[in-house]
Structure 1
């Protein structure tokens, strides 16, 4: 198959092939259609662009590894027939982000997913990151020095290609070990349910910029929040114009301090950590304009804490929540898994608050089938014995 080969340092590893033309990608897709399974990973530029994009796709079979360059090709569209093919298993590690990104960027559908991070969580392993798993099981040490690199830059150095290839080169072997352990412990059905849910996740639409998303904003006064809202709107527009992540325009800590100061003159911008003289020179008019806009806005909408607070639970609901949590924690301890994996706090709160006639529907909505299999009987006993919320 075509493609530039980049050799790896490992003596038994075959070289990774770079796929950088449409013809090479189409040839690769024809080859992959005959495979039973593939390991897949994506390198993106989320730390360097306003809208992240897939910059590399790493694909490995048991014998070969390819690095697909969608930026050089103009997209990775032909791979959609592989990702949606139920006869080819696609193995990811922590695939939630990658699958959402590929769906948003290319409209891909996915079927027949296996995720090694989810598998490690269901097995209750103490370390579920790929670096830790490969080191513990195979003695493979992943060098993560390019984890925050800008993968959209070209040309890519050979060491970056080697770095990318390592993320999928050992993934199928890890998949086999974890699958065997899931089978042995009777948890493969749990995993299959999680994988099916993973294949159907959808990318969330980008929300408008909001003061509520700035950590620490809940402690501001309403007028300060109005100023902060104007500031985050300015920052978002500038980030879009520059094609940078918003935090690379102005950091959240800077915005919070500006909102507290509510500046009126350039001198009011001095002495803020992170707001350098260069940034003041560049943005002082825009910052002061945003502050003025916030001062003129209605403050009433900012008197509430963002999205509103839920109703205070009754003493009975609090007691039910405590009993549900105890059952959840004991079951998690017996299974050797993280309690939140069985049922998170939000699910427990909603179940504790539901009336008896909505119990079955609430359990079905808030718990997955495998979670209900572990918890449902005890949860029903608690809720039916304590009556209406």
Structure 2
């Protein structure tokens, strides 16, 4: 274990770079005893199928900070077990990649995860918020984040500056969460934070299981037969990328994949007539791609993917959702909530379809579930029912818009 600096004060912190399995085990024991730890990672994703983990960073509430070199510490399973147990609170900032690393290592979800970026969106406006801005907003401190944003984290040895930069990302997180937690408790929003972080974890894990080909640009404009070809090419590309541990785009770009699905070339010569397909790195797969296109092109009937179904009211959805967006923006401003955390444009359109066109039948939209229902559900319903009047109360005030419920004249 390489000691960098030591102090019990949070503004002068103890830093160690852990490079042995025994020291890593000692760290895990400390984390279990403490019951709370901040966590972050540095990784490289540009040249691999999955991001390559290059450094793990930890910070305890006493100010001690640790970096773990995964190139020298082979077995990280003890940490992933901690992250999935029900006794240790793990604090992250924008922790989508940390969730993925945990799921990939264990097949399980983090249990007591706290994402301070999400928590901040429930007590102030401006989600998502950068780490440096978060520290300034919550702790009234300014941090110097160095010049390591372009660092190749695979390179060894790590410099002092690189380690300082990496550990700065976890240094203040325990203190940030302590402040946020007290604030959210006073506002009655702590349960909102827990629920929203659980939803974040669900969404990240769902991305791993989602049918990735449906997110290809231009997929929805293809015919069903063309969709079948796009799906087949996507699955082959994914398998090949995983086998070679390379990014999928290095095997075949998205736009070229969709173009091949549309053209459905019957020979290598026809395939090469598509712009950029004569590149050397693509030519090694030319015969195989032609085979895949032929096989998928022979599918029919129920074997073909279904076309995405439209709502039938696209123009109305768009206009009414924009009106709801104004009402929601005003509500979030008054409640000091980040609108981008409360709802997306798709959420507002879903609400319109459910309330207006489905007559409130079927599954509840997200804006009528949990804490969101209390924040905006009834307001949005009143707007769509014509029970709310929008007016400009004072153009120069912080809250220039006013939404008046016609039934009782109350705001």
TM over 0.5: yes
Give the C-alpha shift of residue 374 in structure 1.
Answer: 2.0
Partner Cα distance (2:211, 2:201) in 1? 28
**Partner residue, 2:376:** 375
Partner Cα distance (1:208, 1:320) in 2? 29
- For the aligned residue pairs, the C-alpha RMSD in angstroms reads 4.2
Per the normalisation by structure 1, the TM-score is 0.75
**Partner residue, 1:333:** 333
Q: Matched residue pairs, number?
A: 374
**Partner residue, 1:40:** 39
Structure 2 unaligned spans of 5+: 388-411
SS in 2 for 1:125: coil
**Partner residue, 1:56:** 55
Structure 1 residues 287, 321: closer, same or farther in 2, change over 3 A? Answer: closer
**Partner residue, 2:297:** 295
Per the normalisation by structure 2, the TM-score is 0.72
Structure 1 residues 59, 273: closer, same or farther in 2, change over 3 A? Answer: farther
SS in 1 for 2:205: coil
Give the C-alpha shift of residue 130 in structure 1.
Answer: 1.6
Give the C-alpha shift of residue 59 in structure 1.
Answer: 0.5
| Kept after mapping to 1: 8 A contact 2:132/2:142 | no
**Partner residue, 2:117:** 117
Give the C-alpha shift of residue 128 in structure 1.
Answer: 0.5
Structure 1 residues 261, 15: closer, same or farther in 2, change over 3 A? Answer: farther
Partner Cα distance (2:315, 2:224) in 1? 31
Partner Cα distance (1:317, 1:35) in 2? 51
**Partner residue, 2:215:** 213
| Kept after mapping to 1: 8 A contact 2:15/2:65 | yes
**Partner residue, 2:28:** 29
Greater displacement, 346-355 / 287-296? 346-355
Give the C-alpha shift of residue 36 in structure 1.
Answer: 5.7
**Partner residue, 2:193:** 191
SS in 1 for 2:58: strand
| Kept after mapping to 2: 8 A contact 1:232/1:255 | yes
Answering whether residue 170 of structure 2 is matched by residue 172 of structure 1, we say no
Greater displacement, 245-254 / 87-96? 87-96
Structure 1 residues 138, 183: closer, same or farther in 2, change over 3 A? Answer: same
Partner Cα distance (2:193, 2:147) in 1? 28
Structure 1 unaligned spans of 5+: none
**Partner residue, 2:231:** 229
Structure 1 residues 351, 330: closer, same or farther in 2, change over 3 A? Answer: farther
Partner Cα distance (2:4, 2:271) in 1? 50
SS in 2 for 1:57: strand
**Partner residue, 1:348:** 351
Partner Cα distance (1:261, 1:102) in 2? 40
Give the C-alpha shift of residue 201 in structure 1.
Answer: 7.1
Partner Cα distance (2:201, 2:283) in 1? 48
